Amino acid sequence: MNILLLEDDLILSAELCRFLESNSFTCDKIYDGETFLRQIKNNTYDLYLLDINVPKINGLDVCQTIRSFDKNTPIIIISAYGDISDKKDAFTRLADDYLVKPFQFEELLLRMNSLLRRKSPSDASDQDIIRVDDLIINKTEQKVYRAGNEIALTLKEFQLLVYLAEAQGRTVSKQQITEHVWEHNFNTNTNTVEVYINFLRKKIDKDFKLKLIHTRSGFGYYLSTL
C-alpha cells in the first residue's frame, strides 16, 4: 500500500514514515501543499495523510482539490487543531477521518487499515478527469483547477478548454473550434475564437510561468506543456 504524507514537521514526518514502512507500507513525504498536488498528478496512492497547517496550500484546500477528481481514495487529516469547527470543516471537504495531534501511531494504523478495508473501486471514469501538468479539468462537475486553486470559467470557456485538452497537444484550427464548441453559430470570419482564447489565457496562464495555451501561427491553437 502506497501512502502520501503531507506534513511540514520534519521530525514527525520522518518518524511517521519509518513507522508505516515498518508495517509494510511505502510512504512518500511532502512538506507543502503545492508540491503535494504536483506529486499526485503522476503517481497513484492508496491513502493520503494531510496536516492542515502547511506552507503554500493548506491541507484542507488540498483535500478539497483531491475530492474534485478522486472521490474514493481515503483521506485522513492529522492536525493539532482539535476544535469541533476544524473537524466539521475537514469533513465538509469530504475527509474520511480526523486525528488530533499528538496521537499514537498505532491508533493511526488502526484507522488506516479500517479505511483501506472499506475502500471500493472508483466509480469515476478516467475520461472524466483531464490533467495537463498542474491543470486539472473535471468534466463531470465542470470545474477547473490550477496549482490547487479553482478557476471560474463561463460555459463556453470551459467547453473550449476541454476541446483543446482533449486534442492532447494537437493543433486545432479556428474552423474545428467553431464546429465543436459553437456549432457554427457565428461567422467564422469574426474574432470570437481569438477573444475566447485570450479569456482563457488570462485565467489559465497569466499568473503562471509555465504557459499551457499556445498559438501555432497560420494553423490554430493547442494546449501543451511544451
Task: Looking at the structure, tell me whether residues 61 and 113 fall in a common domain.
Answer: yes
CATH number at residue 78: 3.40.50.2300
Question: How many whole angstroms separate alpha carbon 192 and alpha carbon 5?
Answer: 45
Alpha-carbon dihedral sign for residues 177, 183, 186, 189: positive
Task: Looking at the structure, tell me whether residues 156 and 83 fall in a common domain.
Answer: no
Q: Which residues of the chain have pLDDT under 50?
A: 120-124
Residue 22 lies in a domain: yes
Q: How many domains does the chain have?
A: 2
Question: How many whole angstroms separate alpha carbon 21 and alpha carbon 181?
Answer: 49
What pLDDT was estimated at residue 149? 82
Those residues whose C-beta lies under 8 Å from the C-beta of residue 194, and which sit 6 or more positions away, are: none
Residue 72 lies in a domain: yes
Last residue of a domain, one of 84, 119, 154: 119
Last residue of a domain, one of 88, 119, 150: 119
What pLDDT was estimated at residue 186? 59
What pLDDT was estimated at residue 122? 45
> Percentage of residues in the chain with pLDDT exceeding 70?
93
Residue 124 lies in a domain: no
What pLDDT was estimated at residue 184? 65
Task: Looking at the structure, tell me whether residues 136 and 81 fall in a common domain.
Answer: no
Residue 83 lies in a domain: yes
CATH number at residue 216: 1.10.10.10
Amino acid identity of 177?
I
Report the 10 Å Cβ neighbour count for 178.
18
Task: Looking at the structure, tell me whether residues 31 and 78 fall in a common domain.
Answer: yes
Task: Looking at the structure, tell me whether residues 100 and 153 fall in a common domain.
Answer: no
* Domain limits for position 104: 2-119
What pLDDT was estimated at residue 35? 94
Residues 33-69 pLDDT 10s: 999 999 988 788 999 999 999 999 999 999 999 998 8
What pLDDT was estimated at residue 121? 44
What pLDDT was estimated at residue 147? 80
Report the 10 Å Cβ neighbour count for 162.
19
